[in-house]
């Protein structure tokens, strides 16, 4: 396969990102205005508020069709277009694979070549990433490069992960052991190491290609308090009560409801008494129009489990599992993001936290 030109690739990805920004701001506002004007119709205004009403009101609306088309096809262009992430990385496969193993520190990475991946994980090309994040040795690098335009309004790529690591540190100072479930290529895991240099941080994920990128990044940044292991977050095999904090970032919406319940039970089992479970994910926004868009995003971005998470009573599941001191709060992914909510498209970021009782009865 001929090596793709870096310049052409960067120019194309820059175009996709710029168009995505246009979609995030201008097309979003056009659609919001279109819905606002439909609400002046007495029949629509009298309907039960909710995403179904928005869907009925916007059926056949051109701004709605453009908005959905751009969302679906920009993501497809980003991954699979002629200058997309997948063909670009495939055209550099050998050199990328060499780079992945360079400088790895012994003991940082533990892969399980016999790991059976669950059907929910292998049956969907999540994010429209052909083959998902697991099916190709270089899939972790594709995902890492692709994540740069997942949240296009964030100017600093790692910002939200750093902010979340700070929140965790604020709620559980001086932890000894932290587990990051569904760690991907280690964005939150790495931030956790930086803000908790005295702690041991473990990241687990199903994807060997992502974990290889995570371990390479740990080598580059010379991070020593980190360990990555290929494990299923629903049954990690770690000993009972071996962590002070169990966390995840964007894991829960990528698994069916039964697996989310299993992650919450596993978190309880793994925590020491008084330990903190804290997940960062997406829950339905308190707004029918934004909820309608979030449901649409789950279809258009191949994220079916976003919808089951939206329908789940997460607080009830945490309580019935045995957690206390529940907190479900909006998360500000960048400075001022909550104050600007509704002015641009954004994910409904939510911190989902609870404590394991100090006295287990
Ligand atoms: C959207 S990515 C988020 C990655 C990372 N936490 C981040 O914030 O960049 C979701 C991750 O969850 C992983 N995952 C999905 N199901 C899992 C499971 N049962 N156990 C462990 N990891 C899982 C995927 O492989 C993927 O890396």
Question: Which pLDDT value is given to residue 282?
Answer: 98
Question: Which pLDDT value is given to residue 156?
Answer: 55
Question: Which pLDDT value is given to residue 29?
Answer: 96
Question: Which pLDDT value is given to residue 150?
Answer: 59
Determine the residue of 254, 256, 258, 259 to mutate for testing ligand 1's pocket, defined as the one with the most ligand atoms within 8 A of the Cβ atom: 254
DSSP states of 106-134: TTSEE--TTPPPPHHHHSS-GGG-TTTTT
Q: What residues does ligand 1 touch, defined as CB less than 6 Å away? A: 121, 133, 181-184, 187-188, 204-207, 210, 232-234, 249-251, 254-255, 259
Q: Whose CA is nearest to atom 10 of ligand 1?
A: 251
Determine the residue of 157, 179, 251, 263 to mutate for testing ligand 1's pocket, defined as the one with the most ligand atoms within 8 A of the Cβ atom: 251
Distance from residue 239's CA to the centre of ligand 1 (Å): 21
Q: What burial letters (b/e) apply to 317-345, b meaning 16+ CB within 10 Å? A: bbeebebeeeeeeebbbbeebeeebeebb
Question: Which pLDDT value is given to residue 233?
Answer: 98
349 by Cβ neighbours in 10 Å (0-12 / 13-18 / 19+) ranks as buried
Distance from residue 122's CA to the centre of ligand 1 (Å): 13
* pLDDT tens series, the chain, 361 aa: 789 999 999 999 999 999 999 999 999 999 999 999 999 999 999 999 999 999 999 999 999 999 999 999 999 999 998 999 999 999 999 999 999 888 888 889 999 999 999 999 999 999 999 999 999 999 999 999 998 765 555 555 558 999 999 999 999 999 999 999 999 999 999 999 999 999 999 999 999 999 999 999 999 999 989 999 999 999 999 999 999 999 999 999 999 999 999 999 999 999 999 999 999 999 998 999 999 999 999 999 999 999 999 999 999 999 999 999 999 999 999 988 998 888 999 999 999 999 999 975 5
What are the pLDDT digits (tens) for 119-161? 999 999 999 999 999 999 999 999 999 987 655 555 555 589 9
Distance from residue 59's CA to the centre of ligand 1 (Å): 34
What are the pLDDT digits (tens) for 2-55? 899 999 999 999 999 999 999 999 999 999 999 999 999 999 999 999 999 999
**256: helix, coil or strand?**
coil
Q: Walk me through the domains of the chain, giving residue ranges and CATH numbers.
A: 149-355 (3.40.50.150)
CA–CA distance from 172 to each of 221, 277, 355 (Å)? 24, 10, 10
Question: Which pLDDT value is given to residue 135?
Answer: 93
Nearest ligand 1 atom to the CA of 189 is 6
Question: Which pLDDT value is given to residue 105?
Answer: 83
Distance from residue 133's CA to the centre of ligand 1 (Å): 9
Global pTM reads 0.95
Distance from residue 13's CA to the centre of ligand 1 (Å): 24
Question: Which pLDDT value is given to residue 354?
Answer: 98
C-alpha span between 224 and 28 (Å, rounded): 43
Q: Please, which residues bridge with residue 150 across strands?
A: none
């Amino acid at each position: 396969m001929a090596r793709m030109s870096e310049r052409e690739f960067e120019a194309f990805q820059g175009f996709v990102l710029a168009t995505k920004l246009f979609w995030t701001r201008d097309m979003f506002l056009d659609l919001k205005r279109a819905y606002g004007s439909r609400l002046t119709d007495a029949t629509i205004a009298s309907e039960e508020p909710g995403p179904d009403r928005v869907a009925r009101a916007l059926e056949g609306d051109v701004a709605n069709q453009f908005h959905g088309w751009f969302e679906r096809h920009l993501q497809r262009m980003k991954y699979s277009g002629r200058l997309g992430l997948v063909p670009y990385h495939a055209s550099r496969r050998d050199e990328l694979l060499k780079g992945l193993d360079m400088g790895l520190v012994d003991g940082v990475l533990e892969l399980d070549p016999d790991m059976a991946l669950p059907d929910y994980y292998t049956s969907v090309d999540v994010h429209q990433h052909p083959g998902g994040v697991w099916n190709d040795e270089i899939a972790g690098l594709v995902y890492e490069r692709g994540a740069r335009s997942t949240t296009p309004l964030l100017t600093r790529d790692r910002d939200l992960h750093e902010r979340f690591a700070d929140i965790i540190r604020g709620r559980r100072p001086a932890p000894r052991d932290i587990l990051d479930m569904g760690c991907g290529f280690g964005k939150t895991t790495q931030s956790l190491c930086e803000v908790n240099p005295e702690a041991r941080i473990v990241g687990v994920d199903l994807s060997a290609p992502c974990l290889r990128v995570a371990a390479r990044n740990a080598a580059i940044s010379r991070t020593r308090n980190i360990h990555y292991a290929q494990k299923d977050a629903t049954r990690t095999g770690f000993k009972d009560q071996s962590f002070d904090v169990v966390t995840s970032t964007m894991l829960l919406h990528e698994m069916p409801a039964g697996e989310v319940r299993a992650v919450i039970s596993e978190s309880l089992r793994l925590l020491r008494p008084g330990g903190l479970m804290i997940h960062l994910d997406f829950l339905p926004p308190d707004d029918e129009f934004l909820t309608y868009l979030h449901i649409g995003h789950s279809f258009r971005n191949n994220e079916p489990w976003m919808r089951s998470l939206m329908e789940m009573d997460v607080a009830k599941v945490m309580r019935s599992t045995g957690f206390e001191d529940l907190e479900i709060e909006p998360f500000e992914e960048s400075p001022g993001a909550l104050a600007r909510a509704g002015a641009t498209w954004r994910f409904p970021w939510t911190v989902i936290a609870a404590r394991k009782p100090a006295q287990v009865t």
